[in-house]
Structure 1
Amino acid sequence: MYTGENGYITRPELKDKMKEAVEACIELGLYVIIDWHILSDNDPNMYMEEAKIFFAEMAQLYANYPNVIYEICNEPNGVDVTWNDDIKPYAEELISVIRQYDRDNVILVGTGTWSQDVHHAADHPLQGDHIMYVAHFYAGTHGQELREKIIYALDKGVAIFVSEWGTTLASGDGGVFTQESDVWLNFLYEKGISWVNWNLSDRVEDSAVLLPGAAPEGNWSDKDLTPSGAYVRSKLREIN
C-alpha cells in the first residue's frame, strides 16, 4: 500500500483492493505482507496518524490469521531520518496499536537508508515479541558491506527479514546480476533469512518478473517471464 505516489493518502479507496489481495492469500494459504509502503514521504512520522488508523483496522480484521504479516514502514530514508530519533519512536507507536488487537503476528520494521541500516536497529532494539527488522538489497548495487551489517545485527540477537530484493541495480534496471544474486541468496539461506523478490509485475523494468503484456489473470508460461523472472522462479523451485 503506497502512501505517496498517488497512493493511500490521496486515494484511500485503494485499501479495498488491498483487502481483496490479503483475503485471496488467506484463502490460498499463502503468507501475505501488508506493507505501508513509504518512499518519497521519507520519514514515517509524516503520516503516523493515518498509519495508526490503517493498522488498527488491519489488525482487527486479520489477527486470527497467522500467515498475515504487518510491515509498518517500507523504506525510511534521508540523512535527517534516524533510527533513534524518528523510526524507533514511530515503530513503538504502531506496534502498540497493532498489539491491542493482535498479540502474535509478525511485525516488520523498516530501517534507515532505504532499509539498509539494520545495525542501528540492532544497537537499540524495540521491546516486544515477534518483531523483525527489514533489510533491502539489489544485487547489482549492494554487496558485502550490507551483508556485514546484517551479520552484525544477527550477532546482536535480532531477527532480520528481507522484504524486498532485486536481481538488478537499485534503480530496477541495469540488467540481471545472476552471480551477485547467487551470492546473496546463498548468504540468506545460510543465515536462515526469508526473502521477497521485487517485483511481480509486467513493468518495463529489468527487475520485473513478467514481460510487458503478460496476462493479468496469471497462468504464465516460460515465454511470459523476463530473465529476472526466470531466475527467481528457478530459485524458488530449488527451495521446494
Structure 2
Amino acid sequence: MAPSSTHTYTVTARDPSDNESDRSASVTATTQAGGTGTPVQANGQLKVCGVRLCNERGEQIQLRGMSTHGLQWYSQCLNTASLDALATDWKSDILRVSMYIQDGGYESNPRQFTDRVHNLIEMATARGMYAIVDWHMLDPGDPMYNLSRAKTFFAEIAQRHNGKNNLLYEIANEPSGVSWSTIRNYAHQLIPVIRQNDPDTPILVGTRAWSSLGVSEGSDENEVVANPVNATNIMYTFHFYAASHGSDYLNTLSRAADRIPVFVTEFGTQEATGDGPNNFTRSQQYIDLMAQKKISWVNWNYSDDFRSGAVFTTGTCPNGPFAGTSRLKPAGVWIRDRVRAD
C-alpha cells in the first residue's frame, strides 16, 4: 500500500440545528499518495465534458450522495454529527442542499434561508464533499414566478463561494405546467447573473414535467436536444421514483444520457409522493444504468420524516445515532449500501 498522509480541515460554521452558538467542524481524511482521499481532494473542480460530468483532470466520474429535506422543516437533521456520518460512514460524495422557496421557505425569510445555505455549504466543504445548491421551487411550477428572487439569491451565493471548487448550482428543482421554452428562457436570464460572479461552477437546469425531461406528459429528451440552453458547463436534471416510474422513464434516461449531460438530482425507491412501498428491483435497474453511464445521482432524503423515502426512523434527529444502520428505514439501509459501494 502506498504511504498515506492525514489532513485535518477546520472551518467555523454555524450548525443549522443550533440557533445559539457557532461550532467548529473538524474532519480528518486520510489521503493515499497519488490523489485519493475526500471526494473533493480526489476530483477537484468539476466540469462538463461532452455529455458527462468530469473532474479537474477531464476524467469522467459519477458522484453519489443524499439530498436534505426542506430546510424549513428538517434543519435538526443537519448538524455536526449527521454530516460527519454522511461523509465518513455513508462515504457520500455529495450533499444536495434543498432550500424550498415557498411552503415556509426562502420567500418567508430570505436572509435566514440564505444564511442556512451558506452554513451548509461550509459544513459540506469542511468534510470534503460536493454540495448542490438546490433552488427547490415546486409550487408554483413556473420558474419565472421566482426569477427575481433567484437572481438575488444566486448572485450572493456565487459571489461568496466562487473560490470553492466543490459546488453545483441547481437553478430550478421541478418545473411543471410550463413549456420547455419557458424553462429555457428562465435559464437564459439567470445563468448570466451567476456567471458574473462565478464562471466555473457547473449549473444544473431543471427539465419539463417535474424534471422528467417531459416523460410524465408524453414527451422525451428530443425537445432539449433540439433546443438546448445556450450556455456552457451545464447539465440537465432528471428525477424518478422507482415504484411509480417504470420502463418509460428508465429508457428515456438511458437515451438522454447519450445525447445530453444528465444529472439525477433526486430519486426515490418508493412512489412519487416520497412515500409508500419500495420497489428495490426497479431501483436497482436504475442504479445499474447510472453506474454504467456514469450518471451522478442524489437520493431523497436525509431526514427522519415519517415517509418511507426519509432514510431515518422518526425521532432520530437531532441526536442520532446517524452512523450504521440501527436507525435506518428499509430504504435507508438499501441506499446507504449503494452510496458506500466501491
- Decide: shared fold, TM above 0.5: yes
Contact 2:134–2:173 (CA under 8 A) maintained in structure 1: yes
* Aligned position for 1:144: 247
* Aligned position for 1:98: 194
- Tell me if 1:128 matches 2:231: yes
Cα separation, partners in 2 of 1:38 and 1:51, compared to 1, 3 Å: same
How far apart, in 2, do the equivalents of 1:214 and 1:124 lie?
Answer: 46
Secondary structure, aligned partner of 2:188 = helix
Flag the structure with larger Rg: 2
Displacement of 1:218 = 4.6
Cα separation, partners in 2 of 1:217 and 1:104, compared to 1, 3 Å: farther
Cα separation, partners in 2 of 1:94 and 1:165, compared to 1, 3 Å: same
Q: Which amino acid aligns with 1:115?
A: S
- Tell me if 1:234 matches 2:337: yes
Displacement of 1:14 = 1.7
* Aligned position for 1:22: 121
How far apart, in 2, do the equivalents of 1:152 and 1:237 lie?
Answer: 27
Displacement of 1:130 = 1.4
Displacement of 1:217 = 4.7
Displacement of 1:42 = 0.5
Deviation sequence 1:166-218 (CA, Å, 0-9, x none): 01000111111111110110011111100000000000000010000114255
Cα separation, partners in 2 of 1:100 and 1:218, compared to 1, 3 Å: farther
How far apart, in 1, do the equivalents of 2:227 and 2:240 lie?
Answer: 22
Q: Which amino acid aligns with 1:96?
A: P
- Tell me if 1:7 matches 2:109: no
Give the stretch that moved more between structures: 190-199 or 168-177: 168-177
Aligned with residue 170 of structure 2, among 53, 64, 71:
71
- Give percent identity, aligned residues only: 40
Aligned with residue 180 of structure 2, among 54, 60, 83:
83
How far apart, in 1, do the equivalents of 2:304 and 2:190 lie?
Answer: 33
Deviation sequence 1:98-124 (CA, Å, 0-9, x none): 111111111000001000016122221
Aligned with residue 295 of structure 2, among 190, 193, 212:
193
Task: List gaps (5 residues or longer) in structure 2.
Answer: 1-98, 214-219
Aligned with residue 180 of structure 1, among 269, 282, 293:
282
CA RMSD of aligned residues (A): 1.3
How far apart, in 1, do the equivalents of 2:316 and 2:144 lie?
Answer: 37
Deviation sequence 1:103-154 (CA, Å, 0-9, x none): 1111000001000016122221112221000000001011221122223323
Alignment of 1:157-176 (within 5 A): 158-176=260-278
Aligned with residue 115 of structure 1, among 211, 216, 224:
211
Q: Which amino acid aligns with 1:94?
A: L
Q: Which amino acid aligns with 2:124?
A: C
Secondary structure, aligned partner of 1:223 = coil
Paired residue total: 235
Secondary structure, aligned partner of 2:108 = coil
Higher relative contact order (CA 8 A, sep 6+): 2
Task: List gaps (5 residues or longer) in structure 1.
Answer: none
Displacement of 1:61 = 1.0
Displacement of 1:222 = 1.7
How far apart, in 2, do the equivalents of 1:9 and 1:122 lie?
Answer: 33
How far apart, in 2, do the equivalents of 1:210 and 1:191 lie?
Answer: 29
**Structure with the higher helix share, 1 or 2:** 1
Q: Which amino acid aligns with 2:330?
A: P
- Tell me if 1:58 matches 2:154: no
TM-score normalised over the length of structure 1: 0.94
